Amino acid sequence: MSPAEVKDLYKILGVGETATKEDIKKAFRKLAVKYHPDKLKGDKKSEERFKEINEAYQILSDDKKRQQYDFMRKNPFGAGFSQGPGGFSGDQSFQFNMDDLGNLFSGFGGLGDMFDLFGSKSKKSRRAASASMRGADAQTSITIPFETAAQGGQHAIRIPKKGVCPQCGGTGAQPGSRQITCPRCKGTGSVFVSQGSFGFSRTCPECMGTGTKITQPCSVCHGTGKTEASKTITVKIPAGIRDGQKIRLAGEGEPSPGSGPNGDLYILVNVLAHPKFKRDGDILYSEADIDLVTAIQGGKVVVDTLQGPVTLKIPAGTQPGTKFKLKGCGVKSKKGRMGDHFVTVRVALPRNLSAKQRKLFDEFASSLK
């Protein structure tokens, strides 16, 4: 879009680009009195002119909207920019879509008026925009076992799902009935509201911007075009997912209000704790008990891992708290690399010694001196 295609709001109000807020206010009041619909009833051109004047004032009288408008006039869609606390800056890439444009000027009629601002008053364009609107995103949560989070797997969940009404096919109208042009907005999808010396356009509340009206609502969906149902889906759990992370399922969110794409479903993952293992990223930690003889003389102990039991060799003279590394027995990372598993040994000391055992132990202790 070139700068020539963007309406010159300053020209509409008859002020320069450096006009102060007071200059803009004075110009608006003067033009509003001249073109007010109550003064020129039935004059469609004056009504459109008043609407144009009001839209210009709504933007130029607001510092933030004016800054955004000025930037768009000079950098129409081609420039990279980002929105910061003080408006827009040119240091990052930012891509506009029509929803973004509608949000910039949501204070005076929404997306429909943005089409007017950029020179397109096509009723067909408005309906097409409404029909292609994306559905809202949805969110749910699941709780999965520790092992599933570490190794990956599948998890089935049941979610509420809105679907197209099977009776009316999503039109909201009873089969055999007809749709008529909305009597309130005359098919434009928006209505003009006058409040004293001010006026603005907004989405028609009777047809909700579609420009048409159902004469007989569908008996199944009651005019919504959607039906409530439930759906079971199998979620693929990637190996190594962590507690609190989300999984995105494209197209499994809310349906579009028109014929556009569905929103996405975001699944918050809660991971159950494990009775033996502790996890830190891709690394696992656990403990294993050995007796005093094994600690002194050495031996073997069987420890549990995610891959199954593993026999760990204990060297003679192993001290309590010694850590042993089991390479590749941890959690699988996103890149496919396996983490390690560290086992800390605890030495279980005998609690009750017989007289003979105590005597032998005393002799052993004396031999160490």
**Which residue segment(s) compose the domain that 97 sits in?**
3-83+93-121
Strand partners, 338: 332
Mark whether 205 and 265 lie in a shared domain.
yes
Looking at the domain assignment, is residue 221 inside a domain? yes
CATH label of the domain that carries residue 10 = 1.10.287.110
Mark whether 266 and 142 lie in a shared domain.
yes
Mark whether 293 and 255 lie in a shared domain.
no
Mark whether 198 and 230 lie in a shared domain.
yes
Looking at the domain assignment, is residue 315 inside a domain? yes
Looking at the domain assignment, is residue 110 inside a domain? yes
For residue 346, give Cα distances in angstroms to 172, 215, 220, 341: 70, 79, 67, 16
CA dihedral for 206, 211, 215, 217, sign (positive or negative) = negative
Q: Report the alpha-carbon distance of residue 225 to residue 327 in Å, rounded.
A: 57
Mark whether 299 and 208 lie in a shared domain.
no
Q: What is the pLDDT of residues 285-318, one digit of tens each?
A: 999 999 999 999 999 999 999 999 999 999 999 9
CATH label of the domain that carries residue 165 = 2.10.230.10
Q: Report the alpha-carbon distance of residue 35 to residue 52 in Å, rounded.
A: 10
Q: Report the half-sphere exposure of 19 (CA within 13 A, side-chain side).
A: 23
Q: Which helix (H) or strand (E) holds 67?
A: helix 63-74
Question: Is-contact 191 204, C-beta < 8 A?
Answer: yes
**Closest to 212 measured CA to CA, from 202, 204, 200, 201:** 204
Mark whether 326 and 255 lie in a shared domain.
no
pLDDT of residue 309: 95
Mark whether 258 and 283 lie in a shared domain.
no
Mark whether 165 and 231 lie in a shared domain.
yes
How many domains does the chain contain in total? 3
In the chain, what percentage of residues exceed pLDDT 70? 78
Mark whether 209 and 263 lie in a shared domain.
yes
| 3-state class (DSSP) for residue 42 | coil
Looking at the domain assignment, is residue 308 inside a domain? yes
Instruction: For strands 283-291 and 341-348, give the pairing.
Output: parallel
Cα 72 off chain centre by: 26
Mark whether 299 and 248 lie in a shared domain.
no
* Domain end (from 202, 237, 271): 271
CATH label of the domain that carries residue 362 = 2.60.260.20
Looking at the domain assignment, is residue 355 inside a domain? yes
pLDDT of residue 75: 64
Radius of gyration (C-alpha) of the chain in whole angstroms: 35
Looking at the domain assignment, is residue 133 inside a domain? no
Q: Could you give the angle at the alpha carbon of 325 between the alpha carbons of 322 and 327, nearest 5°?
A: 175
Mark whether 114 and 185 lie in a shared domain.
no
* Domain end (from 249, 271, 293): 271
* Domain end (from 236, 271, 306): 271
Looking at the domain assignment, is residue 127 inside a domain? no
Residues of the chain with pLDDT under 50: 1-4, 77-121
Mark whether 282 and 262 lie in a shared domain.
no
The long-range contacts involving 195-200, CB below 8 angstroms and separated by at least 24 positions, are 197/29, 197/32, 197/33, 197/36, 198/32, 198/54, 199/36, 199/37, 199/50, 199/51, 199/54, 200/51, 200/54, 200/55, 200/58, 200/108, 200/109
